[in-house]
Amino acid sequence: MVTLNEGDKAPAFSGKDQNGDKISLSSMKGKKVVVYFYPADDTPTCTIQACNLRDNYSLLKKNGFEVIGISPDEVTKHKKFESKFKLPFTLIADPSHTILEKYGVWDQKQMFGNKYMGVLRTTFMIDEKGIIRKIFLRPKSKAHAEEIIESMNY
């Protein structure tokens, strides 16, 4: 269950991106950052969401946003996902669920009566000072960039 609130300081994190480079939230200080958590690379809904962010990436950048996607997938899987769909933004691998747990998005889910642990699809908009300004608990995968831009007034 997401336990963070709008107005909270975003938890610090670091991890390896799709190129194996270390990326940290602190390296984004002074920038607005969209951190979106998603269950898995190359699955239908996750692909729709990633491609929506890709298709509107120039608009997000024009509005000053950096985009970081985080899932439990490994670096190599992220690289294939990035290449296959020509994703222009950072994907961080979190197979140990460290970042996912810090943000409260690794939780029990249920499908067809079966309970399992998984990622709660959630997006955090973080301002230049590292403060969470908006949380999307159920982002609209087909129109996610649009809802981010619309909520820019916080």
Catalytic residue numbers, as ranges: 46
Measure the CA–CA gap between 116 and 27, rounded to whole angstroms: 34
Measure the CA–CA gap between 1 and 84, rounded to whole angstroms: 32
Beta strand extents in 40-144 (DSSP E only): 65-71, 90-93, 106-111, 114-119, 122-126, 132-136
Residue 119: name the closest of 38, 35, 49 by CA: 38
Measure the CA–CA gap between 144 and 34, rounded to whole angstroms: 11
The residue whose two tokens read 């509107």 is 56
Q: Which residues pair with 33 in a beta bridge?
A: 66, 126
β-pairing verdict for 106-111 and 114-119 = antiparallel
